[in-house]
Amino acid sequence: MLFNSYEFLLFLPITFLLYWFAFRKRKWQNLLIIVASYIFYGWWDWRFLLLIALTSACSYISGILIERSNGNRKRQRLVSVANIVINLGILGVFKYYNFFVENLDVLFGALGWHLDWVAINIILPVGISFYTFQALSYTIDVYQKKVTATHDIVEFFAYISFFPQLVAGPIERATNLLPQFQQQRHFDYVKAVDGMRQMLWGFLKKLVIADNCAIIVNQYWDWYDGLSGVSLFLLGVLFTFQLYCDFSGYSDIAIGCARLFGFNLMQNFNFPYFSRSIPEFWRRWHISLTTWFRDYIYFPLGGSRCDKWKTIRNVYIVWSLSGLWHGADWTFVCWGLFHATLLAIYNIFGIKTKYKDIVAKGHYLPNIKETFQMAVTFFLVVIGWIIFRSENMTQAYNYLKSMCTNDLIDSSPFYGKKLLIYCIIFIIIEWIQREKLYALDISGIRSAKLKWLICLSVAITIYLFMSTSISTFIYFQF
Amino acid sequence: MKRFIISSIVFLAICFCCIEVFLVPISFAFEQAAYKSKNLDPYCRINFVTECNDTNADLLIIGNSRAKDSYNDVLLSELTGLKCLNLAMAGYPFDFQYHIMYKTYIKHNVTPKYILMEIGPFSFFDYSTPKYTIEMLPYIDREEFQFYYDICPELSYKDHYRIIRYAGKYEEMVSQIMKIKESDSNYKNELQANQVLKDDTVANPKENYEKNYLKKKTFNVEKNPDIIKLFKSFMSECEDQKIQVILVCSPIHTTDGTSHFDMEGFWNLITDIIKGHEIKILNYQNLFEDNTTYFANSMHLNSYGKNCFTRRIAHDLDSLNILHHDAQSK
C-alpha cells in the first residue's frame, strides 16, 4: 500500500482509531500493529508476507539462542553467523541472483559457455533490504550485548514489520525502537499534531516536487543527444530534487505516522543539500543506512582508527556494499565507488569535514566560503546521482559526456524550467527552517492561527500542484 | 485525543471549504481562459467536442495536429456546400481520437456521410502527452476529469474525481490514459522527429535541413499494432454504416521529394489496411515540397497553407467526384 494512495487514506484513520480506542493495552496494540502492517505490506503481494515472517522468525529465534548460549561465545557467534547467512541468503536470492548470473554469463560467454538458462524470473519484494537490515542489526546487537533479546514474539514481529517504516525506512535499531514496543504508549496531543505536520510536509515533497520532477526526468533522461549541456545539468538537478523529495518525503511521512501511534523514529535526513562537504552530506543523507554501515561494517573493519591506506580500503569496501545495497546493477556499484573516491580524497588531503552545526547557524545567509563549499558539494552530489539514475554505465558515460560536449545552450524546449522554480521555492523554505527537525516544524510559533494558516496553505498547495499520476516511491525498489 | 480528532476534522473541513469557496471559481476562470487559449489545445478540443450537440456534420475531419492545421472546416463547408466539422486533436494518438473525439461526437449527432481522415507518419504512433501535462498545469486535472466525464456523465461532481477515479470503477479508463501518458519512449521519438524544424525550418530551411537531417538516417516512426488494429476496425465500422472514408495525406515539408520519414513503409501499411475496403486515398505528401511559404514546420501547415490546401482538397473532392451528394448541385 502506498502512502500516497486512497487505500492508505482509509487505512490510517481506521488503524489509528482502533489503536487508541479499541486496543488500549500494549500487547493488543502490538498485535494490531502486526495485523495492520501485514495488511499494509500484503497489499502489494500476499506472498511477500511469507518472506518477512521468515526473516522475523529467524532473527527472533537467533536472538533467543544467542542469549541462551550466554558464556559460550563460539556458539553465539555460530548462531549469529547462521542468522546473517539466512537473511543475506534470502536477500541474495531475491535481489542479486539474476545480477550475478548475468555477469557470470558475460564472463563465461567469452569461453563459449552460456549460463542464461540459469536465470530465473523472481519478483523483487518491496523494501526487502530495509527490513532485512533491521532484522540483522537486532541479531548483531544481541550478539554484541547492546540489547537484550526479546522473548515476546508479538513485540518482535511488530518491531520488524512496523508499517510506517517497513518498506523504505528509516532502518531502525533495536536499541531505539524495540524498547518503545515494550512500554505502554500514551496519546500525546502535541506529538500527534507534530506528526501530522511532518506527514503533511512529506506529502508536499513527494506529490508536488518529486512526482512533478519525475515526469520531466523520465521524459528526457535518455535524450541526452538532443539537449544542451546546461539542460542536461539542470535535468540532473531536477533528479537530485526528485530523489531527495521522494525519499525524505517518505521518511517524513513514516516518522510523522509513527508519532501518531506514539513512536519516535530516528531522523533520516537532515537538510543534506546544505552540506559543506561530501562526508557531511553523508552524515545528513539517509542517516539510518549510513550509520548502519558505519556501525556494522566500517567500525568492525577498523574504521578510521588505522593507517590512512587501510582507512581508504575500508571506505571503498563500505561504499561498494552500500552501492550494491541500493540495487543489483553496476551503476549503483560505480556510484558507491564514486563517493568512496570523493571520501578518500577528503581523507588524503585532510580536508575539514567534521562540522558540528548546520551551515550558517544563527545567520540568514552563508558566507562566501560556505556558499562555495555547498556549491561544490552539491555539484558532486548531482554528478553522483546522474550515475545512480542511469540505466547502465554506457548511459551514464554518454550522459556525462554529452553534458560536457553538447552545445552549452540551445533552443530546444526543456520543460523543466518551471519545476526548477518550484525547487528553488522549496529549497528556500528548507533553508529558512534548516535548524529544525523538518521544514514544517512550526512548533516554535506561538500564534495558533498562524500555524493553522501555514498548514492550510501547504495542504492547498498540495491539492493544486500535485502530480495527477499516482507513482511509487523510488526507494521501494531497494 | 478528542481534541486531536476534532482538530483533524476541522482542518479537513476548512481545506475542503477553501477549495470549494475560493479555488473552484478560480479554476473555473482558468478553465474559461484555457478554453479560449489556442495553446491549450487538447483541453479545448475535448470541451469543444462535448459542446458539439446536434451539429450533424456531413463531413467529419478526424486526425492529429496535422489535420487540425491542414483543414479549415468553415472554408471547406463554403466550398463544398457540405456541413464540415474538424474534430482533429493535436498530440493524441488515433485511439484517443476515436474513443474520445469521434465516439463522443457520435453520441450527440447523426452519423456523417463522409469521414476525411488525415493520415501521415504519425497516424499509428502511440505518442504520449507529457508535453501537454507540463504545458497545461494546472489544467490537466480538468482535462482528465473531462476525459471520464465524457464517457460517464454521472461523474458530475468535478472536484471529487480523484477519489472516484481511484475507487476502481473506472479502472479501464485510468489505464487507458495512463498508457497514453506513460509511453514516454515513443514520445521521445516524436520529440526527436519534430524538434529541429519546429524551431527553425521557416527561418533557414535548407541549411537546417542539411545540418539536422541529412546526417540522420530515415526516421522510422514506431507503429503501434493496437492502433493499427483499431484503425482497421474503424474502417470496417464506417463501411457497415455506409460512411465514405477518404484518407488524405496532407503536405509534408520535403526536399527533392524526400521526407526524413519512412514513407514507403507507411504507404505499404496503408495499402494493406485498405485492402478489400472501398476507401479513397488522396496523397498530397509532396504538394508544397520545401516551399516554406505554406509551412509552420516540417509536419504542419501555417494558416496560409491551411487555406490553400483546403481549397485544393475541396477542388479535388469535387473534380474526382468523391462527394456525390445533394449539396453539390447548390
Arithmetic mean of pLDDT, B254-271: 74
In a domain, B202, yes or no: yes
Measured between alpha carbons, how far is B108 from B101 in angstroms, rounded to an integer? 12
Q: Which of B15, B192, B200 sits opposite A456 (nearest CB)?
A: B15
Indicate whether B171 pLDDT > 70. no
Answer yes or no: is B52 within a domain.
no
Looking at the structure of chain B, the number of domains it has is 1
For an interface test with B, give the residue of A16, A219, A220, A415 to mutate (most B CBs within 10 A).
A219
Give the span between the Cα atoms of B13 and B149, in whole angstroms. Answer: 26
Domain annotation covers residue B283: yes
Query: Does the beta-carbon distance from A418 to B14 stay under 8 Å?
Result: no
The ipTM is: 0.75
CA distance B15 to chain A (A): 6
Which of B2, B3, B4 is most worth mutating to test chain A (most A CB atoms within 10 A of its CB)? B4
More confident residue, A473 or B18: B18
Q: Do A464 and B188 touch (CB under 8 A)?
A: no
A53: its cell numbers? 515472517
Q: Which three cell numbers stand for residue B138?
A: 494546472
pLDDT, mean of residues B143-159: 37
> What's the mean pLDDT in B297-323?
83
Q: Which residues of A are catalytic?
A: 326
pLDDT per residue of chain A (478 residues) written in tens, 0 to 9: 777 777 888 999 999 999 988 888 888 999 999 999 999 988 878 888 888 899 999 999 999 999 888 878 888 889 989 999 998 888 888 888 877 777 777 777 777 777 666 666 677 788 888 889 999 999 999 988 888 889 989 999 999 999 898 887 789 888 889 999 998 888 899 999 999 999 999 999 988 898 888 877 876 776 676 677 888 888 899 999 999 999 999 999 999 999 999 999 999 999 999 998 898 999 999 999 999 999 998 888 887 778 888 888 889 999 999 998 887 788 899 999 999 999 888 888 777 667 777 888 878 888 898 899 999 999 999 999 999 988 888 888 888 888 887 666 665 445 566 778 888 999 999 999 988 889 888 888 888 889 999 999 999 888 877 765 555 555 555 5
Q: Measured between beta carbons, which residues in chain A are less than 8 angstroms from residue B131?
A: 219, 413, 415
Domain assignment present for residue B77? The answer is: yes
A96 Rama class: left (phi>0) / alpha (psi -120 to 50) / beta: alpha
Residue B14, domain member (yes or no): no
Full residue range of the structural domain in which residue B274 is found: 57-127+184-324
Provide the pLDDT for residue B226: 80
Q: What is the DSSP letter of B255?
A: B
- Residue A222, chain B, CB below 8 Å: the answer is yes
Nearest CA in chain A to B140: A468
Q: Is A28 on the interface with B (CB under 8 A)?
A: no
How many CB atoms neighbour CB A465 within 10 A? 16
d(CA A297, CA A321): 9
* N residues, chain A: 478
3-state SS class at A137? helix
Interatomic CA distance for residues B12 and A9, integer angstroms: 12
For the beta sheet containing B84-86, the strands, ordered from the edge strand earlier in sequence to the opposite edge, are: B84-86, B59-62, B114-118, B244-249, B280-283
CATH number of residue B113's parent domain: 3.40.50.1110
- Across the range B56-81, mean pLDDT stands at 89
Whole-number pLDDT of residue B29: 55
Q: What are phi and psi of A318, to 5 degrees?
A: -60, -45
B46 within domain boundaries: no
HSE (CB half, 13 Å, CA atoms) of A322?
27
pLDDT in tens, B25-48: 665 555 455 444 433 344 445 556
Lowest-pLDDT choice from A403-412, B2-11, B55-64, B142-151: B142-151
Task: State how far the Cα of B299 lies from the Cα of B288, in Å rounded to an integer.
Answer: 12
Interface check for A92 against chain B (CB to CB < 8 A): the answer is no
Is there a contact between B65 and B45 (Cβ–Cβ < 8 Å)?
A: no
Q: How far is B238 from chain A (nearest CA, A)?
A: 35
> What is the structure's pLDDT at B258?
62
Q: What is the DSSP letter of B327?
A: G
Question: What pLDDT does residue A357 have?
Answer: 78
The C-alpha cell that represents B63 in the structure block: 486526425
> How are the residues of chain A apportioned to helix, strand and coil, as percentages rounded to the nearest 5?
70, 0, 30
Q: Is A286 left (phi over 0), alpha (psi -120 to 50) or beta?
A: left
Among the residue ranges A140-149, A389-398, B65-74, B145-154, the one predicted with the least confidence is: B145-154
In a domain, B41, yes or no: no
Task: Compare B146 and A39 and report the one with higher pLDDT.
Answer: A39
CB-based contact A3:A201 (threshold 8 Å): no
Q: Which among B15, B138, B184 has CB closest to A459?
A: B15
Between CA A419 and CA A182 the distance in angstroms is 45
Is A218 in Cβ contact with B23 (below 8 Å)? no
Inter-chain contact B134–A459, Cβ cutoff 8 Å? no
In chain B, the largest separation of any two C-alpha atoms, in whole Å, equals 82
pTM above 0.90, yes or no: no
Flag whether pLDDT at B201 surpasses 90: no
Pairwise CB contact (< 8 Å): B141 & A468: yes
Q: Is A452 within 8 Å of B14 when comparing Cβ atoms?
A: yes
> Distance (Å, rounded) from C-alpha A175 to C-alpha B257?
75
Contact A283, A268 (CB under 8 A): no
C-alpha to C-alpha distance for A238 and A414, rounded to whole angstroms = 12
Q: Which chain B residue has its CA at the smallest distance from A413's CA?
A: B195
The answer to whether the CB of A228 falls within 8 A of the CB of A408 is yes
Indicate whether B300 belongs to any domain. yes
Torsion on CA atoms B320, B227, B134, A388, rounded to nearest 10 = -140
Residue A292, classified by CB atoms within 10 Å of its CB into exposed (0-12), middle (13-18) or buried (19+), is buried
Cell numbers for B237: 465500422
The answer to whether B55 touches B109, Cβ cutoff 8 Å, is yes
Q: Choose the mutation target among B146, B180, B183, B188 for the interface with A, i.e. most A CBs under 10 Å.
A: B188
Say how many residues make up chain B: 330
Those residues whose C-beta lies under 8 Å from the C-beta of residue B174, and which sit 6 or more positions away, are B165
B138 preceded by a cis bond (ω within 30 of 0): yes
Confidence of residue B159 (pLDDT cuts 50, 70, 90): very low
Enumerate long-range contacts of B144-150, CB under 8 Å, 24 or more apart: B144/A468, B144/B177, B146/B43, B146/B46, B146/B47, B146/B50, B147/B46, B147/B100, B147/B173, B147/B177, B148/B173, B149/B50, B150/B46, B150/B49, B150/B50, B150/B100, B150/B104
Q: C-alpha cell of A146?
A: 547492546
